[in-house]
Chain A
Amino acid sequence: MQAILKDIYQTVIHSPHRTALIIASEEWSYSQLWSYAESYAQMLHDRSFAPGKIGIYTDNTKEMYAAILATWLAGRSFIPLNHKFPKERLKAIIRDSEVVSIFCLASSGDSCIELLPQEALISYNAVSVLPNNRLSATESSDDLAYTLFTSGSTGIPKGIPIGHHHLQALLEDMKERYPLGENDKVLQAFELSFDVSIACIFTAWVQGATLVVPDLNGITAINAFKAIYDHQVNFVTLPPSALFYLRRLKMLAMPLPWVTKTIFTGEALPYNVAEEWKTCAVNSTIDNAYGPTEGTVWSLIYALDELTEQQTINGLCPIGRPTKYIQMRIVNDSGEDVSHNERGELWIGGPQIFHGYVNQPEKSKEVVFQDSQGTYWYKTGDIVVKNQFDQVVYVNRKDNQVQINGFRVELGEVEHHLRGIIKSDAAVVLAHENKGVLELFAFVQGSWDEQTLLNEMRLKVPGYMVPRSIFALDELPVNTSGKVDKTLLRSKYLHHE
């Protein structure tokens, strides 16, 4: 049995009635969670699927969480299939990654049958759950734990395979940094397709804490706040943009004195956001956690303190120092280490670093390499600087990647799909801050109907990648270099948004 499962199993054996999971008003004990996981794993054995990965349709139910463990108990790995993603994107993910079966609710079966044949679907409702099944977990021949797909600039999502040893390295840091136990309640307010969810789930479960999951439809930030409030959650992880919604709906006046730890992640953390949260979560310490999915959720973490304000750059908090197993370099364009206070690209190395994208060897070669010691390194594309306090501060991106509501988006991928729809290269996408939230705006040349283009885009990309507005112009303006004049587009069309 993998080490992560062994850790969880300790609680199953020694404290079987302890609450493992709260979703809405329903609870599961560790014993129940394990029984369901074992039964689903047994079903995977019985169905004798061909070698391959197991898709988990993100119903966001208790059963979905048990299915995660089931795939590992059966010696398989999982791929989250986000039900909010367009079918075409899910089909591309399945094709690219050899998914042989999908766990789903019976009510999601109609959606999943478009992805794989009926015989490849496992409906939770069809599994007989036996208590104390005590299945002997299958030793997996490979180390793979899960594969997540992220935006790719060429229009093809990039699959990032993460092994158990990668996740184990992260969790060893988590256990030391955030010791948790029976009385701790951990918020999990992220889609399973976003890797912060993995950190939340297993930081809680390997330590016998309770995972609290809000409804992920509607305004997630509001639902998360309700879960924190209703269940007195003390360990909270949120994207900074969540505070935009909480502020707008006048919720930050509600005190949350039981919150003792808050991790902001997924986006750069403005110092004023952290300060505002402190007015509500008055007893909470705050960490800013940074990391690309390629480095297994989090690679650098910064604990805010009384010196934070003087360490900000552009109002943003530092991202801190590497976690336990992460090595770090800050390099110039030639790959040489820069001196202190000089900006450069952040490279991260060590046992948390993935080994390459699924079926994209060329792209992998661009960003991943092994050094002479055999250590894997990932070139993050993030420009950072180390300050006088020896803390790393994020400055900007090297390329056209942005974070929309915590999700990584390559502007090139959005443009790729838009150009495919209009069958022309005359399309450009800009990220622009609107009312405190970063959003996408697109410009196309020609007499296109915005509603038609938006509808077409919704069929191709997840909601967070669909532009807020698409402006159809007679002609895209160009600057003296002959390139689309983005500055002009911003000032003319986005200024008043």
Chain B
Amino acid sequence: MNNEQIFEKVNGVFRTTFKDDTILVTRETTAKDIAGWDSITHLDIITGMEEAFQVEITGFEVMNLNNVGDLLDLLAQKMSE
């Protein structure tokens, strides 16, 4: 899976979570940028990523995610392992 495909899949998870087909995240997107991004939706995003990419994300990894870019890097790293 190339970076573009990962990015598209990540956007898909966001759109499903927020039930909004117009969402388009970037590497710089943070929780401040999307209305309704709270603890519950954040957990949905993490779970959604785990299912979509068939990986397991630990709490400590979640703690170090500051924006979507960090998430993309984490997913890319996990898929290469």
Minimum C-beta distance from A83 to chain B (A): 8
Minimum C-beta distance from B26 to chain A (A): 17
Chain B interface bracket (under 10, 10 to 19, 20 to 34, 35 or more): 20 to 34
A405 touches B40 (CB 8 A): yes
Count residues of chain A with CB under 8 A from any CB of chain B: 32
Which B residue sits closest to A468, measured CB to CB?
Answer: B40
The one of B21, B30, B36, B65 in contact with A466, judged by C-beta atoms closer than 8 angstroms, is B36
CA distance A220 to B37 in the complex (A): 11
A219 touches B39 (CB 8 A): yes
The one of B30, B36, B46 in contact with A463, judged by C-beta atoms closer than 8 angstroms, is B36
Most buried by A among B20, B21, B39, B60: B39
The one of B20, B21, B35, B59 in contact with A249, judged by C-beta atoms closer than 8 angstroms, is B59
Task: For B31, list chain A residues within 8 Å (CB).
Answer: 217-218
Query: Digit string of B26-51 for contact with A (CB within 8 Å is 1, else 0)?
Result: 00001110011111111100100000
A219 touches B62 (CB 8 A): yes
The one of B39, B62, B63 in contact with A405, judged by C-beta atoms closer than 8 angstroms, is B39
Which B residue sits closest to A469, measured CB to CB?
Answer: B19
Most buried by B among A83, A221, A249: A249
B32 touches A217 (CB 8 A): yes
Task: For B77, list chain A residues within 8 Å (CB).
Answer: none
Q: Does A439 contact B (CB under 8 A)?
A: yes
Which A residue sits closest to B42, measured CB to CB?
Answer: A219
A218 touches B59 (CB 8 A): no
Given the known A-B contacts A218-B65, A451-B20, are A463 and B38 also in contact in the complex, defined by CB atoms under 8 Å?
yes
B63 touches A455 (CB 8 A): no
Q: Does A343 contact B (CB under 8 A)?
A: no
Q: Does A225 contact B (CB under 8 A)?
A: yes
Closest 6 CB pairs of A and B: A249-B59, A251-B59, A217-B31, A458-B35, A226-B63, A219-B42
7 sampled A-B residue pairs with Cβ under 8 A = A225-B59, A245-B43, A251-B59, A454-B19, A463-B35, A463-B36, A466-B36
